[in-house]
């Protein structure tokens, strides 16, 4: 289906605005932690502790890859909030990148369709 020039401009302008918003979001984002952060339940090893029955001590772990090797690091309780926030920033950052990629693809497909619609047959 052929798009009118006005509707084409509107579609492209919407994409530009969305992309600009995402880029603003990326620039405004705080520090990031690259990897994954998990809460796990552990045992402390004390046979008289409640955790002897069932793991009962929450620990926060940071899993990351460096030089092709996976690492697991215990996050200190006092750093948990800061590390989790930075991890959320990282996740939001990756999500914004995926959205930008999708917008770029949509923009290219709109432009490709438009150039095909402009083609005329010369004989």
Residues that bind Zn ion (CB under 5 A): 44, 49, 51
Length of the chain equals 123
Instruction: Kindly tell me which of 54 and 69 has the beta carbon lying closer to Zn ion.
Output: 54
Q: Side-chain half-sphere of 14: how many Cα atoms within 13 Å?
A: 10
The dihedrals phi and psi of 111, each to the nearest 5 degrees, come to: -65, -40
- CB-based contacts of 34, cutoff 8 Å, min separation 6: 64, 90
Nearer to Zn ion, 74 or 102 (CB): 74
- Distance, in Å, from the CA atom of 98 to the CA atom of 89, rounded to the nearest integer, reads 14
Write down the least CB distance from residue 73 to Zn ion, Å.
21
Between 58 and 101, whose beta carbon lies closer to Zn ion? 58
What's the closest the beta carbon of residue 56 comes to Zn ion, in angstroms?
6
Nearer to Zn ion, 41 or 49 (CB): 49
DSSP three-state, residue 33: coil
Q: How far is the CB of 39 from Zn ion (least distance, A)?
A: 16
Task: Please report how close the Cβ of residue 48 comes to Zn ion at its closest, in angstroms.
Answer: 9
């Amino acid at each position: 289906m052929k798009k009118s020039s006005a509707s084409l401009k509107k579609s492209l302008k919407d994409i530009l605005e969305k992309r600009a918003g995402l880029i603003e979001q990326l620039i405004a984002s705080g520090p990031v932690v690259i990897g994954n952060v998990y809460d796990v339940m552990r045992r402390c090893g004390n046979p008289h502790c409640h955790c002897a029955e069932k793991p009962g001590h929450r620990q926060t772990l940071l899993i990351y890859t460096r030089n092709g090797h996976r690492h697991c690091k215990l996050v200190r309780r006092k750093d948990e909030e800061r590390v989790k926030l930075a991890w959320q920033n990282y996740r939001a950052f990756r999500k914004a990148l995926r959205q930008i990629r999708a917008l770029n693809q949509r923009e290219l497909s709109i432009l490709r369709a438009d150039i095909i619609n402009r083609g005329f047959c010369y004989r």
